[in-house]
Amino acid sequence: MINSNRKMKESVRVGALLAATAGFIDSYTFAFHDGRLASFQSGNMLQFGVYLARGNLNHALIFIWPALAFFFGAMFNQVVKRIRYVNQFQWEEFSILFEILGITVTAILEIMHAPSVLILSLLAISMALQTDTFTKLHGAPYVTTMFTGNLKRLGVALASYGLNHQSSELTKARNIGLIIASFLSGVVLATFVGIKLAGWALFLPVLALLVIWLIITADRPI
């Protein structure tokens, strides 16, 4: 337990593990589930629009389900935030435990060759929980599941350092750079591991999330 201004849930190590998990899952679904994405809903909507414009409605609709699931996952997380917890548990702990449960169930269903729409929906819900729960890196906003926003923040921080020479901006750039690198490492790892292990590969992000849960328990109030 800790009682300081620096929270473990906002630490770089937690952010890096979360980003690697998000990169892993999006890479896995893109590679093995028809180019769909569990967390990057802009990509799904882009493909929905393209196939709709081509007149291929049936194929366009397969990109809708992850987006709808993500939407409901974000709604569900608001309920998680408002539950009255006991024994000093934090709502963030329950949110990540729900994410662990969701990905574990998904891995089992994937091994059993369940329908792709079910796999994508469960993973999208899990990613929505993560996106809505972990939003700050040492007090600065960031997103664990998206590359674009973090890339923008990296550029802003580096430019600010170059203009103002404030060491805090360089530190911010370093932290965001580590998040971006972790996301990319998850993307690469998922491709190799997914080919060799298929659905069993989804247990790797479960292990990473368990480590994160253990780390953030240090934020429980004394």
Domain boundaries, the chain: 69-219
At 3, the pLDDT band (50, 70, 90 cuts) reads very low
Look at residue 83 in the predicted model and tell me its pLDDT. Answer: 79
Look at residue 5 in the predicted model and tell me its pLDDT. Answer: 54
At 222, the pLDDT band (50, 70, 90 cuts) reads low
Chain position carrying tokens 């973090």: 150
Q: Is 30's pLDDT higher than 70? A: yes
Q: Is 19's pLDDT higher than 50? A: yes
- Rounded CA-CA distance 156/152 in Å is 6
- Rounded CA-CA distance 148/11 in Å is 20
Closest by CA to 36, choosing from 143, 130, 151, 127, is 127
Q: Is 76's pLDDT higher than 80? A: yes
Here the tokens at position 8 are 């473990």
User: Where would I find the H helices in 38-166?
Assistant: 41-53, 57-61, 64-82, 91-111, 116-133, 148-164
- Rounded CA-CA distance 221/3 in Å is 7
Mean pLDDT, residues 142-167: 88
Question: Which region among 100-109, 111-120, 140-149, 207-216 has the lowest average model confidence (pLDDT)?
Answer: 140-149
Mean pLDDT, residues 74-91: 83
Most confident of 86-95, 127-136, 148-157: 127-136
Look at residue 2 in the predicted model and tell me its pLDDT. Answer: 43
Sequence letter at residue 123: L
Above pLDDT 90, what percent of the chain? Answer: 68
- Rounded CA-CA distance 204/200 in Å is 8
Closest by CA to 24, choosing from 135, 182, 174, 136, is 182
At 202, the pLDDT band (50, 70, 90 cuts) reads very high
Here the tokens at position 23 are 């990169």
Look at residue 141 in the predicted model and tell me its pLDDT. Answer: 84
Q: Is 1's pLDDT higher than 60? A: no
